[in-house]
Every structure is written in C-alpha cells, then in structure tokens.
C-alpha cells in the first residue's frame, strides 16, 4: 500500500499545490484563490472540484468565482458568457477559460498550475 507521504511527494514532484480543504468550498458555489500569482476559481459540484481561470476572456474581469452554474456551464456574472465547467470551453466549442488539474488527498484539494511561458 502506498504511504500518505509518498502520495504527497509525488504531487509535489508534479507541481501540485495544496489550495484548501474540501470543507472550505460550498457545493455549487465558486471560491477565488491566488496560486503563484495565477487567479483561479474553484467550484465544488456534486463532490467533485473543478479549477478554472478566474479571469473572464470577455473583458478580463476577475469574477468567474462569482458565476453561477447552468447546464454544466459556469456563467460569468458580468455579461453572461458561459464556460463548460469541465473543459472551460464556450458552448460553441471555442476556447474560453483555462482549466487546471485537481487532485484530492483525503479532504485536501491540490491544484496543478501550468506556468505560462514568457515570450520576451
Ligand atoms: S466579463 Fe465575463 S461576460 Fe463580460
């Protein structure tokens, strides 16, 4: 059986970071977190946690965490753009919000932030 410490080491090696505990998230509601200066929104839906960019691509408002759920999409509260909760894509299939991998270890929520490459 794999030890708890080995699981945590593997997550660390894969650049997952502990963000919060499941108890910090309300079902169906979003919550905002900053991880390494990346603004993300976590949503717990039916016990599963989804991590998306908190920045709406429409007018770059940081309000996705205040969005509401409709037809498996998060609806931006500013002007109603919709994003698939799992893929971050718009209903048309075009790119929308970046998504991040989430792992649960017990009650702890770990998220893997993909660092952006800088193009200088
Ligand atoms: S800022 Fe999100 S829909 Fe306009």
For residue range 14-73, list pLDDT tens digits in order: 999 999 999 999 999 999 999 989 999 999 998 899 999 999 999 999 999 999 999 999
Distance 98 CA to ligand 1 centre (A): 15
Residue 73 inside a domain? The answer is yes
- The beta strand positions in 2-114, using DSSP E, are 16-21, 30-35, 38-45, 48-53, 68-70, 73-75, 82-84, 99-105, 108-112
Tally of domains in the chain: 1
Q: Can you tell me the mean pLDDT for 92-108? A: 95
Residue 55 inside a domain? The answer is yes
* Position 75 pLDDT exceeds 60: yes
Q: Model pTM?
A: 0.91
Mutate which of 52, 56, 73 for ligand 1? The one with the most ligand atoms within 8 Å of its CB, which is 56
Task: Give the residue numbers spanning the domain of 82.
Answer: 4-112
Question: What's 77's domain CATH number?
Answer: 2.102.10.10
Contacts of residue 91, Cβ cutoff 8 Å, sequence gap at least 6: 73, 82, 84
Distance 58 CA to ligand 1 centre (A): 5
Distance 110 CA to ligand 1 centre (A): 27
Residue 105 inside a domain? The answer is yes
Q: Identify whether the C-beta of residue 51 lies closer than 8 Å to the C-beta of residue 34.
A: no
DSSP 62: S
Q: Identify whether the C-beta of residue 83 lies closer than 8 Å to the C-beta of residue 65.
A: no
């Amino acid at each position: 059986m794999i030890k708890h410490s080995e699981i945590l080491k593997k997550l660390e090696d894969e650049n997952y970071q502990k963000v919060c505990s499941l108890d910090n998230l309300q079902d169906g509601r979003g919550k905002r977190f900053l991880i390494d200066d990346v603004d993300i929104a976590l949503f717990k839906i039916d016990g599963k946690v989804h991590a998306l960019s908190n920045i709406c691509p429409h007018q770059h408002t940081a309000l996705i965490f205040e969005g509401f759920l409709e037809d498996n999409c998060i609806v931006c509260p500013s002007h109603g753009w919709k994003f698939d909760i799992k893929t971050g894509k718009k209903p048309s299939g075009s790119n929308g919000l970046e998504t991040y991998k989430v792992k649960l270890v017990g009650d702890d929520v770990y998220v893997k932030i993909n660092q952006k490459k800088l193009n200088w």
